[in-house]
Structures are given as C-alpha cells and as structure tokens.
Homo-oligomer: A and B are copies of this chain.
Amino acid sequence: MKEKPEILLIGTGAIGSFYCGKLHQAGARISAVCRSDYDIVKNRGIQVKSIIGDFNYMPEQVVKKASDYSGRPDYIVVATKVLPEINVPDMIHERVYPGTAIVMLQNGINIEEPVAAAFPDNELISGLAFICVSRTEPGQINHQDYGRLVIGRYPSGISDSVSLFADMLNRSGVTCIIEEDIIAARWKKLIWNAPFNPISVLGGGANTIEMMESEPTLHLARKVMEEVVLLAERTGHPIPENVIQKNLDDTAVMTPYKTSMLLDYEGKRSMEVEAILGNTVRLAEKHNVPIPHIQSLYGLLSLLNKKNLGT
C-alpha cells in the first residue's frame, strides 16, 4: 500500500468532502467527481468550517464523471446518497482496477450488495459516519459536531486497506474505529435511524423531543427498534437488547434537532426511503421475520416521498 494513496471521491456532499479533506491533510491525494458543484469546486476547491479547525483543499483532479479521471485509485470513496436512481457500479466501473478498494460512506442497510456483486474481486469497505455536518452551499461544508467514523471490511474482517484508511483519519484528528462485523454496526445505527428519521417526517416535521413526548409515538419508535434488533439477530448479527433503552435515553437528553431525512423532505430532495426502510423490509421478507411497524413506515414514507417530489 502506498504512503500517499490516490483516492477518488464520488459525491462532494458533506460527508465525502469532510472525510476526504481530512485524508488530504493526512497526505492522501484526492480527486473528486462532482455533478452540480463542478464549476465551483474546480475553481475554488472545498472550504470546510469545522469545530476541529477550518481548512480548505483543492482536489488534484475535479471531474464530472469517473471516466474523466486519469489516475488509478487505491480507494474510491462513494459518498452519494443511496437512492434507486443512483447506480454506483455504473458510476465507478471504469475506474475500478485490480487492487482498488471501494469505500462506501453511506446510510442504510444491505446497501453493499449491488457493489459487492458488481466487483467481486475488489475489496469493499463499509463505513458509517457519526457526525453533524452539512453542505451549506456548493463547495462549502460546515462540520458542527461529533465526527467519528466506523469502518470495516465488507462483509466482515479487517485488512491493510482498512487499517491504512483508519490510520490516516486518526492522524488527521478524526476518530476512526475499525469494526470486524461492520454489518452489525450498520444494524446498530439503524436502531436509531429506522424509527426517528421516518417518524420525524411523517409526524409533520417533529424534532427529537416532540417524538419522545407523544406517548403513542414513543411506543411506535420502541416497536420499530425491537424489530430492527429481531431482524439483526435473525440474520446473524445479534445486538444486545439494552441498546434500545440506551438509544432512547440518549435521544431524550439530546438538544432537540431535526433529522437528516426531515431536512431532505423540507428541501424537497429525495429521502433515503429504500436504503433505510425498503431494504429492511425486503431482508425481513427473505428471512421470514415479521416487522409490521417498519412495514407501516415504509408504506407511508414511500408514498409521501413521491408526493413530495411531485412524481
């Protein structure tokens, strides 16, 4: 593995721009594939305002699509939203070489499968960001709180590529933790995301405290969490029961805030309905696990998403 690995970033949203900026600080050579931000990033690079120190960086190459990139990446960092209309294998396949590791910094469950199937001989690294960061405008990132990244080889294990990626981030001041069972880590994150993201939207734009204060709503949130725990266990990734109470306790003392899904809804952007709920429902059907509360959220949110986008 090279000392200064080449990294191709797909998607200059908040998550990708932030972590690749920190990798840049640690010596990695970053290039970026942008769509709507292309002109601004090409001219001015990326500005990061961050609680751990502001910085700017200029990617070596800024391109509109992966095939315009002329290097041979050690890592391709995929940091787009997970939406049915975004086909990751199509976007990256021309720059996936033998030895290229694909890093998915994205939300949801079971999102790795199509990428693993398309590139069976490449290493796949799955990552979960625990961070408050937003793109305030094209090329402008605001990192407000937290920052921990959890990564692991998919479907399990560790590797030199995983270790190097984590080392660089840790060196740059970001906590990056390696999980040998990254799928279990995804389930643990889903315990919070599966109830609170959808309920915040379906409940009319409710913040965390409003969701916790309504008794029938809290009941629903708990049931959704129980279904996530059940499904994780039935698919071979058991999670301790007390995680539910811990999630609820933590949420009760958080400063009330709007979920990322609610921000997407209010901005009339696509919500990650399939990554968070649809994939969960399909996995449950495959394993014959009843998850009626999650299925209810899915039935409602898929309709609301359509209505919101006017499609």
Contacts and interface: CB of A to CB of B under 8 A. Distances in A.
Interface of A: 199, 202-206, 210-211, 214, 216-221, 223, 278, 281, 292-293, 295-300, 302-304, 306-308
B214 A306 contact: yes
Nearest to A203: B303
A296 B220 contact: yes
A295 B223 contact: yes
Copies in the complex: 2
B307 A217 contact: no
B204 A304 contact: yes
Contacts of A308: 204
A223 B298 CA distance: 13
18 contacts: A199-B300, A199-B303, A203-B303, A203-B307, A204-B303, A205-B307, A210-B306, A214-B299, A214-B302, A216-B281, A217-B299, A219-B295, A221-B299, A292-B293, A293-B293, A293-B295, A296-B296, A300-B300
Nearest to A221: B299
- Please classify the interface of chain A as helix (H, G, I), strand (E, B), loop, or mixed, using the class held by over half of its residues: helix
A303 B219 CA distance: 12
B295 A216 contact: yes
A289 to B, nearest CB: 13
A202 B308 CA distance: 12
Nearest to A224: B296
Nearest to A218: B299
Interface centre among A204, A206, A214 (most CB of B within 10 A): A204
A310 to B, nearest CB: 10
A25 B96 CA distance: 81
A83 B306 CA distance: 31
A311 to B, nearest CB: 11
Contacts of A293: 292-293, 295-296
B296 A292 contact: yes
A293 B291 CA distance: 10
A278 B217 CA distance: 12
A300 B223 contact: no
Given A199-B303, A293-B295, 17 more contacts: A199-B300, A202-B304, A203-B300, A204-B303, A204-B307, A210-B306, A216-B299, A216-B302, A217-B300, A219-B295, A219-B299, A220-B296, A220-B299, A221-B299, A292-B292, A292-B293, A293-B293
